[in-house]
């Protein structure tokens, strides 16, 4: 029910907008202008659909981090792409999704400095067009191996 | 007529594999039989009273009434031989009398054009969504939406041409919920073999009719193994009877991701009710928004036309800023259904020509045009084609 959401938001002074209670109106707005959204909360099935939709908007599952939070701080962080057995062990996989999930984990543990360092390094490496990996959605040109990307990031961290 | 219905019933019971093949042997009974068998569209009601059709008009709430007024204006101007029987439905009432009147009127006329009827959340849960009641009472089992990139509208993705066929009567919209324990609600999603076969058959027939090469079933059978599993199995069975059409399936979350990154890969999509709702809204967003796409609901005996995304648009009602394109194109679909194809093409071309004028784009397309400006432009384009018209 929406009541607990509303009372929580009034406590935290966060703007709460009961967005049209239906996922259909939300999705076409998401497709046309996703920047209008900040945080979205929803039940399981809509979450499944909308999270993949948003992942598609930002570049695919190869760059999308995720975390599953439970009671008492128990949490599992994971990338949500597949196991890609065809490229396993070949130094071709995109590490971004799992790395950013690890960054989420560090924030959950309160290690914000380390999280910021790794995240900045990751974004800088992606921005640097010389080092690009095969995206899990397909399309990006393969230039360098994972090792060189890692080295670039390591240098950026220090 | 008796022979027609007898063979039609027999074909419905028979294995779908044989239905396509019987088409040739049915020639011996006359060409009208083949028309019944091979076409997805039902035979429209014949014109009466001097060649004029009567269509039920349900204005609905929000922007529905003003947009339907514009449709009537355009029809009057173009001298379309259609008369509207208006039936109002008051969404604030808890009684069903309004809806019963509307349903009776649609049963009488066979065809309807409607705006969305608001579902007030303040009414008790026992009061069902009126749009839903309409669809299930008339058994409008197929919701068809054709998403095409329009040349005059700037979008991120181009060359989109997807037909979405959504099961319209069951699934998550069965309105069966209960709260056995306080704070724990159980919701029933109903998937039946009959309805799944019916909608899959509709999808494949439509694909064949329109020369489409591929049908994709959208599901979540990895989680809902029995429900969506049954739907998928029915689609596969029907697919085996159409070897000329490629069939594949895709999980709904992957589908939405693929739609926002590579929508050109999709051709015809068939899916249960809720996924149809989400996917059709995603596609509407991809081609330019809910103001552009018309929708059609077909049953065995009736057809109801409306905008594809079924928005009430309360916040923009009566401000003269709503986009009339979707409703005008829906009225063209209705004219096609009534076999008034010349009028349909005339109005459709006028609407698409008007869409090319960026300065006439309404607010939802990022422009500053008003609804009346767009409608006036449509009527001017119709007049310029040399068609006999009423006064502007």
Confidence (pTM): 0.81
Do both A5 and A51 map to the same domain? yes
The pLDDT value recorded for residue A132 is 60
The residue to which tokens 């019933």 are assigned: B9
Mean pLDDT within A31-48:
89
Do both A49 and A77 map to the same domain? no
Range of the domain at A94: 65-157
Give the tens place of pLDDT for each residue, B224-272. 999 999 999 999 999 999 999 999 999 999 999 999 999 999 999 999 9
Give the tens place of pLDDT for each residue, B12-32. 444 445 444 444 443 333 333
Distance CA B72, CA B206 (A): 29
Give the tens place of pLDDT for each residue, B134-191. 999 999 999 999 999 988 898 999 999 999 999 999 988 888 889 999 999 999 999 9
Q: Could you tell me the pLDDT band of residue B117, with boundaries at 50, 70 and 90?
A: confident
Do both A99 and A152 map to the same domain? yes
Q: Which of A32, A58, A84 is the last residue of a domain?
A: A58
Distance CA B90, CA A81 (A): 48
Give the tens place of pLDDT for each residue, B359-370. 889 988 888 899
Do both A47 and A87 map to the same domain? no
Do both A84 and A146 map to the same domain? yes
Take residue B314 and report the two structure tokens written for it: 């309360």
Do both A110 and A94 map to the same domain? yes
Could you write out the DSSP letters of every residue in B284-295? HHHHT-TTS-EE
Number of domains, chain A: 2
List residues in chain B touching A: CB distance below 8 A.
Answer: 121, 220, 252-254, 256-261, 274-275, 277-278, 280-282, 284-286, 289-290, 309-311
Q: Which of A58, A77, A101 is the last residue of a domain?
A: A58
Q: What is the mean pLDDT of chain B?
A: 86
A 27-86 residues inside an 8 A Cβ radius of B: 27-32, 45, 48-53, 55-57, 60-61
Nearest to B256 among A21, A45, A53 (CB): A53
Do both A84 and A52 map to the same domain? no
Do both A73 and A1 map to the same domain? no
Do both A77 and A140 map to the same domain? yes
The pLDDT value recorded for residue B19 is 42
Q: Which of A58, A87, A102 is the last residue of a domain?
A: A58
Distance CA B378, CA B98 (A): 33
Do both A97 and A130 map to the same domain? yes
Could you write out the DSSP letters of every residue in B347-360? HHHHHHHHHT-GGG
**pLDDT tops 50 at residue A136:** no
Residue in B139, B133, B109 with CA at minimum distance from that of residue B202: B139
Q: Could you tell me the pLDDT band of residue B316, with boundaries at 50, 70 and 90?
A: confident
Distance CA A50, CA A35 (A): 15
Q: Strands B303-307 and B111-114: what pairing?
A: parallel
Do both A72 and A138 map to the same domain? yes
The pLDDT value recorded for residue B14 is 43
Do both A29 and A14 map to the same domain? yes
């Amino acid at each position: 029910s929406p009541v607990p959401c509303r009372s929580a938001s009034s406590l935290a002074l966060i703007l709460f907008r009961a967005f049209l209670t239906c996922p259909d109106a939300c999705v076409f707005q998401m497709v046309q202008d996703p920047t209008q959204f900040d945080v979205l909360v929803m039940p399981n099935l809509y979450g499944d659909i909308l999270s993949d939709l948003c992942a598609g908007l930002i570049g695919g599952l190869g760059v999308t981090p995720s975390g599953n939070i439970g009671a008492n701080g128990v949490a599992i962080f994971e990338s949500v792409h597949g196991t890609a057995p065809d490229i396993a062990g070949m130094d071709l996989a995109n590490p971004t999704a799992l790395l950013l999930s690890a960054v989420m984990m560090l924030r959950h543990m309160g290690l914000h400095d380390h999280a910021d360092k790794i995240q900045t390094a990751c974004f800088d490496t992606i921005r640097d067009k010389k080092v690009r990996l095969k995206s899990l959605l397909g399309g990006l040109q393969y230039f360098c191996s994972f090792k060189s990307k890692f080295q670039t990031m390591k240098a950026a961290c220090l | 007529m008796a022979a027609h219905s007898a063979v039609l019933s027999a074909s419905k019971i028979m294995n779908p594999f044989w239905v396509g093949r019987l088409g040739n042997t049915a020639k011996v009974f006359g060409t009208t039989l083949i028309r019944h068998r091979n076409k997805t569209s039902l035979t429209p009601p014949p014109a009466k009273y001097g060649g004029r059709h009567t269509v039920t008009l349900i204005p609905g709430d929000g922007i529905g009434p003003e947009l339907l007024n514009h449709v009537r204006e355009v029809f009057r101007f173009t001298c379309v031989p259609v008369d509207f029987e208006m039936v109002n439905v008051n969404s604030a009432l808890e009684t069903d009398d309004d809806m019963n009147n509307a349903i009776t009127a649609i049963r009488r006329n066979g065809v309807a054009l409607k705006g969305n009827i608001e579902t007030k959340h303040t009414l008790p849960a026992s009061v069902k969504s009126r749009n839903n009641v309409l669809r299930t009472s008339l058994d409008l089992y197929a919701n068809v939406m054709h998403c095409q990139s329009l040349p005059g509208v700037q979008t991120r993705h181009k060359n989109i041409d997807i037909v979405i066929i959504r099961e319209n009567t069951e699934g998550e919209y069965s309105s069966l919920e209960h709260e056995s324990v306080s704070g724990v609600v159980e919701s029933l999603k109903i998937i039946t073999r009959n309805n799944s076969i019916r909608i899959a058959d509709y999808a494949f027939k439509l694909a064949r009719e329109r020369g489409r090469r591929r049908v994709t079933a959208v599901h979540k059978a990895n989680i809902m193994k029995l429900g969506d599993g049954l739907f998928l199995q029915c689609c596969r069975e029907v697919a085996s009877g159409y070897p000329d059409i490629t069939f594949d399936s895709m999980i709904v979350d992957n589908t939405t991701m693929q739609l926002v990154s590579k929508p050109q890969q999709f051709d015809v999509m068939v899916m249960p009710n809720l996924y149809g709702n989400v996917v059709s809204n995603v596609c509407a967003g991809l081609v330019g928004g809910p103001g552009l796409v018309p929708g059609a609901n077909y049953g065995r005996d009736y057809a109801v036309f409306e905008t594809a995304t079924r928005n009430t648009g309360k916040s923009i009602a009566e401000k003269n800023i709503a986009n009339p394109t979707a409703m005008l194109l829906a009225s063209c679909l209705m004219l096609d259904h009534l076999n008034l194809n010349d009028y349909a093409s005339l109005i459709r071309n006028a609407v698409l020509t008007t869409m090319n004028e960026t300065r006439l784009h309404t607010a939802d397309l990022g422009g500053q045009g008003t609804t009346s400006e767009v409608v006036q432009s449509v009527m001017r384009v119709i007049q310029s084609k040399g068609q006999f018209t009423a006064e502007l």
